[in-house]
């Protein structure tokens, strides 16, 4: 089922887009948890990490390449940052279209 992220990809609702290519889009999180909080999203609708298949291997690589480029563009690559993907209820996933949270711009606390 299409989520809010597909609506952002299709320009049906606005977002502050910081990066886009054929397969990946990245935009600012509406409720940032750090000075830099970007959501990196594949255009393909994959609900959770559990749904990634062999055919998505290259796409997942594209996501990390995009993350590296975005981090450099936003000037956080050298100081460092964190990449998180939540999965299902215990992981705290709210939007069921996989995405990587790119968090940085300050020294982050412990993970949980
Ligand atoms: P999850 O909890 O699924 O890992 O993360 C979903 C993220 O999407 C949350 O950090 C939330 O703030 C963000 N989010 C939810 N709706 C929107 C929206 O309409 N626009 C943007 N830019 N971010 C959203």
The partner residues of 1 in beta bridges, in order of sequence, read none
Mean pLDDT for the chain overall? 97
Q: Specify the pLDDT at position 1.
A: 72
* Ligand 1, atom 13: closest residue by C-alpha: 29
Give the three-class secondary structure for 67.
helix
The fold adopted by the segment(s) 4-104 is HIT family, subunit A (3.30.428)
| Per-residue pLDDT at 112 | 82
**Mean pLDDT value across residues 91-109:** 98
Q: Kindly report, residue by residue over 4-31, the tens digit of the pLDDT.
A: 999 999 999 999 999 999 999 999 999 9
Q: Decide: 29 in ligand 1 pocket, CB within 6 A.
A: yes
CB 87 within 8 A of CB 102: no
Distance 95 CA to ligand 1 centre (A): 7
Q: Which atom of ligand 1 is nearest to the CA of 95?
A: 3
Q: Which is nearest to 86 in space by CA: 95, 73, 76? A: 95
Domain residue extents for the chain = 4-104
Cα three-residue angle 75-76-79, rounded to 5 degrees: 125
Evaluate: CB of 31 within 6 angstroms of ligand 1.
yes
Rg (CA), the chain: 13
């Amino acid at each position: 089922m299409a989520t809010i992220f597909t609506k952002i990809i299709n320009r049906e609702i606005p977002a502050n887009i910081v990066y886009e290519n054929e397969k990946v889009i990245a935009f600012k999180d509406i409720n940032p948890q750090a000075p830099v909080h970007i959501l990196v999203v594949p255009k393909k609708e994959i609900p959770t990490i559990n749904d990634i298949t062999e055919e998505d291997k290259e796409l997942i690589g594209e996501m990390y390449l995009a993350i590296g480029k975005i981090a450099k563009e936003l000037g956080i690559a050298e100081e460092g940052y964190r990449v998180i993907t939540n999965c299902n209820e215990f992981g705290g996933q709210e939007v069921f279209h996989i995405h990587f949270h790119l968090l940085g711009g300050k020294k982050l606390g412990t993970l949980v």
